[in-house]
Amino acid sequence: MAGATAAKELVGRGFSVTIVEARDRIGGRMFTDRTSFAYPVDIGAGWIHLGDGGNPITSLCEHYKVGVKQAEYHNEQVYWKDGRKISQKDNEDADHLYEKIMGKFEDLRKTLKSDISLEAALEQVTKPMQLTSDQKLFQRYKIYSEIQCEWACHLKDMSAINFDEEAGDKYSGEDKLVTGGFDNLIYGLLSGLKIDLKLKQVVTEIDYS
């Protein structure tokens, strides 16, 4: 999306623009699967976090007529892998345990003299807690949905010292869900632009001479 936005700005200022993309598609982390099912499924971006509180993505969606709807993030039914429903009480207990783990992590983070990965830090925190197998499984789900999906990054690649769970909350309000495919936003940005788009072009060097 950054490339498409930059291309639109440059074309608007009279520049001749070439977009070089290593993949066989445009969009980067915005990837809508339109072939596997009878409806589009966003594999990459899908949410507009805090979408009704000033997030500019909401305005872009409105401008390019990309459908959005209010998300009911906490209206969920979670299942064990064998198909059993997880009760509301077990879900709430897991939420409380997650908050306890993150509280212990925050205490650990403040004492670190040198950086370690978030994965290593959370392992240090949870190991003495003697969690049951169900608790471990549920916390893997919580950590994945609350951290890895939120930051689009694996825990082993995240800094423990610099991690701030609230850092991304620049805007207020409720989350929104994009309907019909997030890729429509990319196509909207590029629509009508006279650009040279080159797919499957891996850039290995930039020669400024």
For residue range 72-85, what is the model confidence (pLDDT) as tens digits? 767 778 888 889 89
Is the model's pLDDT at 208 over the cut of 80? yes
Tell me what pLDDT residue 168 has.
58
Question: 3-class DSSP state for residue 71?
Answer: coil
More confident residue, 173 or 93: 93
- CA dist., res. 161 & res. 111, Å (int): 9
CA angle, corner 105, sides to 102 and 110, nearest 5? 130
- CA dist., res. 117 & res. 126, Å (int): 14
The dihedral over CA atoms of 190, 195, 196, 202, expressed in degrees to the nearest 10, equals: -50
What values do phi and psi take at 41, rounded to 5?
Answer: -125, 125
Q: Is residue 95 part of a domain?
A: yes
| Beta carbons of 5 and 189 less than 8 angstroms apart | yes
Q: Domain containing 186 — which CATH number?
A: 3.50.50.60
Beta strand pairing call for 17-20 and 47-48? unpaired
Q: Is residue 145 part of a domain?
A: yes
pTM here?
0.65
Indicate the DSSP class of residue 15.
Answer: -
Q: Look up residue 59 and give its amino acid.
A: S
Tell me what pLDDT residue 173 has.
77
**Domain identity same for 98 and 142:** yes
Q: Is residue 42 part of a domain?
A: yes
**Domain identity same for 179 and 145:** no
**Domain identity same for 67 and 21:** yes
Write out pLDDT tens, residues 19-38. 999 999 999 888 999 999 99
Reading the block at residue 98, the tokens are 């997650």
**Domain identity same for 66 and 92:** no
- CA dist., res. 184 & res. 133, Å (int): 42
**Domain identity same for 178 and 151:** no
Among 30-34, 67-71, 189-193, the range scoring the smallest mean pLDDT is 67-71
* pLDDT class of 55 with cuts at 50, 70, 90: confident
**Look-up of token digits 């930051």:** 151
Q: Is residue 59 part of a domain?
A: yes
Average pLDDT of the chain?
89
The closest alpha carbon to 145, from 124, 121, 165, 116, belongs to 165
* pLDDT class of 48 with cuts at 50, 70, 90: confident
Inter-CA distances, 74 with 12, 46, 92, 171, 205, Å: 42, 16, 11, 19, 46
| Beta carbons of 97 and 129 less than 8 angstroms apart | no
**Domain identity same for 96 and 131:** yes
Range of the domain at 147: 88-157
Reading the block at residue 100, the tokens are 């306890």
Mean pLDDT, rounded, for 173-194: 90
Tell me what pLDDT residue 16 has.
95
When divided into structural domains, the chain yields a total of 2
* pLDDT class of 167 with cuts at 50, 70, 90: low
Mean pLDDT, rounded, for 92-106: 94
